[in-house]
Amino acid sequence: MNREEYLNQLKKHLKKLPKSDYENAMEYFTEYFEEVGEQQAMEELGTPEEAAADIVNNLLSQNPKNGHKGGKQGKIKILFGIFLLLFGVAAIVLLASMGNRKENGDIKVDTGDIKVGNIQKNDTDGIQEDTNGIKTWQSDDIRLDSVSSITADLNYIDLDIAVSDDDDFHMSYELHCMNRKNPLSYHLENGLLKLAEKDFKAPSLRSWIWNTDSMTNKYYSYITLYVPSNTVLKSCNLNMADGDLTINGLHCNLMEIKAVDGDMNIKDGSCQKAVLKAEDGDIILSNSIISEDLQFNTADGDISVSDLNIKGTAGFDTADGDISASGLSVDGTVQIDTADGDISCAGFKASEGMKIKVEDGDIRISGLASAGAVEILSGDGDIAISDFKESKGLFLQTECGDISGSSISITGKMQINTADGDVALSNLGAFGKIDIASESGDISLQIQKKSLSGLKMTVDTEDGELSVARSLGGKKRSGHYERDGSASKYLNVDMEEGDISIQ
């Protein structure tokens, strides 16, 4: 694990803290990595999970009678002493004020800012307040009539959409905050259910400190919507900020989701068209049917998709994140773009072709089937492709990286270009036109025997060794090899600096 991966995991464990506390903590950890170096920082902090827990556990246990312990625990205390110096004024005031707080009993109030259309509330809507002044707004079951579309605008609260046990829509929520008025508003009118979060005041850092045994769950705020399994919504338009989104078994015509700093996990559903966007969060989509087009966009997050049936086109676009896809069937074209991230595809069907472009990252493709052209471009990274049968064209290019392939069958045309990298192809079915060009790097080819009949070959290297199996026949001289064959079935290899081996 490197520095960037460590900090990204730490973000996920700390993102439920209040915004200011979260930003201060991440600033401290980032600066600490810069000061002491990657290896020393990770050794002293432990795993991201341990660092997230220790950051509050050790602040709580600051006591002169305890002295300083050795090992990681002692180091964390010293580190957090620095943290207190950096952000100590606010922390000391918060800690000092805790001793003056008195316990309040349960308070039953009407929920605030609630607009009720066709909504039937039960008697469990209410509020409780604990000794830290944190209020719990909750409702166990709200029945909703005639919902045809859903919109949500949430900042801190997580949203879960699940399958209802009956033929009715239901909603429940549990919110932990400092608000004296319910920060959630919901409105159902003409079939449109609107959920909105207003000025959510998250529990302060001191509240998390006193509840370290369940740091990630104690003040988990969420809304759960239950949708009947036989219902197809017109639209689902969700805007999420820091909260996570989970959708299970939802069917709708149009799905549009935007997330800032939260993950989304969608499965076992269907929609006509889907647009999923995230700035700093991961997207998982599985076991779903898209009857038209699917589009992904992320700035700093991974995309993972599996077992999808897409009748239209599929587009993946990420600035800094990995893309993983398996078990996809796409009737249209597929386009994948990432600036900084790896791409892994397995068991992929792209009926009308595929284009992949990566600036800095590795590409691994296996079990790809396509009746259209496939183009794979990498700036700084390796390309590995296996178990692929081409008919309309395969183009592979890398500026600085190796290209490897196994069990590739070419009946149309394949072109490989690399500026600085090796090319290694095994079990190559050369039934069409193949051109390979490299400026600097070795080339190794192992050709299927059944494809040798009528195969014309021309191989040249300007500065390197040339090795060709005698069983191939043909004529060989220093740096050059020729084999007669058909003009419509050939292999051309051109190397400037590197060795060539053909078997």
Amino acid at 80: F
Model confidence at 483, pLDDT cuts 50, 70, 90, reads: very high
Measured CA to CA, the distance from residue 205 to residue 218 in angstroms comes to 13
- The lowest-confidence range among 105-114, 209-218, 468-477 is 105-114
According to the model, what pLDDT value does residue 130 have? 72
Checking if the pLDDT of 7 tops 90, the result is no
According to the model, what pLDDT value does residue 210 have? 44
Checking if the pLDDT of 62 tops 70, the result is no
Amino acid at 178: M
Backbone angles phi, psi at 121, to 5 degrees: -90, 150
pLDDT per position as a tens digit, 230-239: 999 999 999 9
Helix ranges (DSSP H) in 299-368: none
Percent with pLDDT over 90 in the chain: 61
According to the model, what pLDDT value does residue 93 have? 38
According to the model, what pLDDT value does residue 155 have? 92
What's this model's pTM, rounded to 2 decimal places? 0.77
Checking if the pLDDT of 406 tops 60, the result is yes
Q: How many CA atoms lie within 13 A of 228 on its CB side?
A: 14
Checking if the pLDDT of 66 tops 50, the result is no
Model confidence at 292, pLDDT cuts 50, 70, 90, reads: very high
According to the model, what pLDDT value does residue 115 have? 38
Overall average pLDDT of the 474-490 stretch: 91
Are the C-beta atoms of residues 86 and 92 closer than 8 Å to each other? Answer: no
Give the Cβ contact number of residue 462 at 10 Å.
10
According to the model, what pLDDT value does residue 67 have? 39
pLDDT per position as a tens digit, 310-339: 999 999 999 988 999 999 999 999 999 999
Give the E-state strand segments of 411-489 in sequence order: 413-420, 423-430, 433-440, 443-447, 456-463, 466-468, 475-477, 480-483
Are the C-beta atoms of residues 77 and 60 closer than 8 Å to each other? Answer: no
State the average pLDDT for the chain.
Answer: 83
Burial class (CB in 10 A: 0-12, 13-18, 19+), 56: buried
According to the model, what pLDDT value does residue 43 have? 85
Overall average pLDDT of the 467-494 stretch: 92
The token pair that represents 75 in the structure block:
């180091």
Model confidence at 382, pLDDT cuts 50, 70, 90, reads: very high
According to the model, what pLDDT value does residue 59 have? 44
Checking if the pLDDT of 98 tops 90, the result is no
- The lowest-confidence range among 33-42, 251-260, 413-422, 482-491 is 33-42
Checking if the pLDDT of 63 tops 70, the result is no
* Spatial CB neighbours of 27, under 8 Å, sequence gap ≥ 6: none
pLDDT per position as a tens digit, 393-404: 999 999 999 999
pLDDT per position as a tens digit, 449-462: 999 999 999 999 99
More confident residue, 79 or 202: 202
According to the model, what pLDDT value does residue 19 have? 66
Helices and strands of the chain, counted as H and E runs? 6, 37
According to the model, what pLDDT value does residue 101 have? 35
According to the model, what pLDDT value does residue 218 have? 59
Overall average pLDDT of the 373-379 stretch: 94
Model confidence at 55, pLDDT cuts 50, 70, 90, reads: low
Checking if the pLDDT of 270 tops 70, the result is yes
According to the model, what pLDDT value does residue 149 have? 97
- The lowest-confidence range among 37-46, 216-225, 368-377, 439-448 is 216-225
According to the model, what pLDDT value does residue 17 have? 65
pLDDT per position as a tens digit, 129-180: 776 778 899 998 999 988 999 999 999 999 999 999 999 999 999 999 888 8
The token pair that represents 106 in the structure block:
């349960």
More confident residue, 365 or 128: 365
According to the model, what pLDDT value does residue 313 have? 96
